[in-house]
Structure 1
Amino acid sequence: MKMKELLLFLSCVLCVSADGQHEDIGIIACSDSDGEMMYGLDGEEIGYADFNKQKFIYPQPPFIDPFKYVEGTYEQAVTFQQICRANLKVVREAMKDFPPKHIAPSAVMIYTRDEVEFGQENTLICHVTGFYPAPVNVSWTKNGQKVTGSSINVPYLNKDGPFTQISRLQFTPQLGDVYSCTVKHLALTQPETRLYDVQASAQSNPGVGPAAFCGVGLTVGLLGVAAGTFFLIKGNECS
């Protein structure tokens, strides 16, 4: 979706109370050249229409029970896009004298999905939130060289209005490697970059130090118990 084009977003939120409160959200967005339709529940993406593959995609993890909407959901998304573009023409005419609203990302974070172990495959996550309009552009480097193969999810609308988007990069941590994710957005005067130093991250993880400290503490404690028992026996013998 080209960021310079006027976008139209429609969303609805439905709260359902059972044992607790859940938030169901649907997003329809369009521009002159692209479109989006996404459904989510409690901050997680359930499914979205892929207009290039011409089908509805369910990016759900394998450990949950699979869920799908009724047949014809993709065809419904195509119809909604036609309506959205018709509405976009009306909005563009009505707002032609108003300057566009741009909000820079409020936070850009980089972290790993799992605890770092050298030589073990992991996932780097670049989490961008608090921006408007969508989307952002995220690029990755390893030791200063651009890398490919990353993925990025469909922009997700936050409760307060701005968007969140997450890019992921599969990597294998090796000592000395430094990764970065760079975020570009209309509201940023210059790209924002976050670094991930594999060595610094590994040193900050709990390791041998705390385990050794606990082992020493346990040993000292056992020696104390043994010494107390020895003097107790000696005292009884003297009496």
Structure 2
Amino acid sequence: MMMMKVKVSELVLVLSWVLCVSAEVKHQDIQIVGCSDSDGEVMYGLDGEELWYADFVNKKGVEPQPSFIDHMSYEEGTYEGAVADQQTCKQNVGTFRKALNNPPVKLVPPSSPIIYSRDDVELDQQNTLICHVTGFYPAPVKIHWTKNGQNVTEGTSINVPFLNKDTFFRQTSRLEFTPQLGDVYSCTVDHPALDQPLTRIWDVEVQQPSVGPAVFCGLGLTVGLLGVAAGTFFLIKGNECS
């Protein structure tokens, strides 16, 4: 099945299709080609994961594939094809704008960002903070990080916008960090549909082992045993007196 959707103002062409590999298993294979006056995107994905995208700043293709899948390499010339797609995309933007008398862009703001750590927090052990935002149009959003009130750029990364089934976008940024008790991090998201940026705070907390139930259980057991011992003592004394 192949679906074609057109959004005139920013995203010109979106192609997506579902491949049924067996009677029981389905996989979703998606290609996104989008452009605006200042931004562009070409991305291939599978089951919600990016397999390849064009980095137009560094002029190369990137394969940010997760470690739990078999790595797939794209053939030589894929990036050059993406550059050609952008040229066609921008030509189509101009054609649509002229034909539709330059319609206004419909702005949809992103959801409040969600921030969480990739792994359980252990002090002095390297980890990754993840900031996720979804439901916005057009793409992309801008995401930046702070640590204890200071802007952080080292160790940060952001994926290309990913298209949801509702034709809005989601995007994720990551920050590599080493937890130290008391450190406070923030993730701030900006988008043209927002009156002011959205910020979510995350501070380093280490879950300590819970000792309360064990202590109370131990005290209860001790009191219970003392009660049994006292009862036995008085029972023996009563038998001796009779």
Shorter-chain TM band: 0.7 to 0.9
Match of 2:34 among 29, 32, 37: 29
Equivalence for 1:156: 162
Q: TM-score, normalised by structure 1?
A: 0.80
Structure-1 separation of matches of 2:64 and 2:91 = 29
The amino acid across from 1:15 in the alignment is V
Q: CA deviation at 1:97?
A: 4.9
Aligned partners of 1:20, 1:63: CA distance in 2, in Å? Answer: 18
Q: Does 1:188 align with 2:194?
A: yes
Deviation at 1:219, TM superposition (A): 11
Q: Work out whether 1:10 is the aligned partner of 2:16.
A: no
Q: Deviations over 1:213-236 (max 9, x none)?
A: 469869989xx9xx9xxxxxxxxx
The runs of 5 or more residues in structure 2 that have no matched partner are 1-8, 229-242
| Structure 1 residue corresponding to 2:124, chosen from 119, 123, 131 | 119
Q: What SS does the corresponding residue of 1:114 show, helix, strand or coil?
A: coil
Q: What is the aligned partner in structure 1 of residue 171 from structure 2? A: 165
Deviation digits for residues 187-234 of structure 1, max 9, x if unmatched?
1111110000113xx2xx4x4116x7469869989xx9xx9xxxxxxx
> Could you tell me how far 1:86 is from its partner in structure 2?
1.1
Match of 1:146 in 2: 151
Root mean square deviation of aligned Cα: 2.5
Letter matched to residue 169 of structure 1: L
C-alpha contact (below 8 Å) 1:107/1:130 kept by paired residues: no
Q: Distance in 1 between matches of 2:11 and 2:68?
A: 35
Match of 1:198 in 2: 204
Q: Of 129, 133, 139, which residue of structure 2 is paired with 1:134?
A: 139
> Which residue in 2 is equivalent to 1:234?
none
2:61 partner amino acid: F
> Equivalents in 1 of 2:36, 2:87: separation in Å?
11
- What is the match of residue 88 of structure 1? 93
3-state secondary structure, aligned to 1:85:
helix
Counterpart-to-counterpart distance in 2, 1:94 and 1:111 = 45
> Secondary structure, in 3 states, of the residue corresponding to 1:180?
strand
Matched, 1:209 2:210: yes
Q: Report the CA distance between 1:85 and its aligned residue.
A: 1.2
Question: For 1:38, which of 31, 39, 43 is the aligned residue?
Answer: 43
Contact 1:14–1:24 (Cα < 8 Å) also in 2: yes
Larger radius of gyration: 2
5+ residue gaps in structure 1? 1-5, 228-239
Counterparts of 1:97 and 1:86, CA distance in 2:
14
Whole-angstrom CA distance in 2 between matches of 1:163 and 1:112: 22
Read off the aligned partner of 2:26 and give its amino acid letter.
Answer: Q
Offset, 1:91: 1.5
Q: Distance in 1 between matches of 2:209 and 2:195?
A: 44
* Aligned twin of 1:105: 110
Whether the aligned pair in 2 keeps the contact of 1:102 and 1:133 (CA below 8 Å) is yes
CA distance in 1, matches of 2:197, 2:30: 30
State the aligned residue count.
214
Letter of the 1:116 partner, please give it. V
